[in-house]
Amino acid sequence: MAETTYNGYCVKCKEKRDFQGNVEVSKTGMNMAKGKCPVCGTTMNRILGKAKA
């Protein structure tokens, strides 16, 4: 799957940042973008909504 740019909150930097990420399905069945913060390298997540069955 190709990486796309998403906007999310970095907990370590305490700022909203754009990050490159892939869409994954969480254990609870939600689509979420997962990637690395471009500044500090911490894993960032953004919940996108319910996954299609």
- For the stretch 15-34, pLDDT in tens is 999 999 999 998 988 999 99
Q: What does the pLDDT read at residue 47?
A: 92
Query: Residue 13 maps to which CATH number?
Result: 2.20.25
Compute the distance between CA of residue 38 and CA of residue 13 in angstroms, rounded to an integer: 11
CA atoms within 13 A on the CB side of 28: 6
Q: Decide if 51 contacts 29 (C-beta within 8 A).
A: yes
Q: What is the mean pLDDT of the chain?
A: 88
- Residues across the chain: 53
Count how many domains the chain has.
1
Q: Which domain holds residue 15?
A: 5-50
C-alpha separations of 37 from 23, 33, 45, 47, 50 in Å: 15, 12, 10, 16, 24
Look at 18 and 50; give whichever has higher pLDDT: 18
Confidence of residue 3 (pLDDT cuts 50, 70, 90): confident
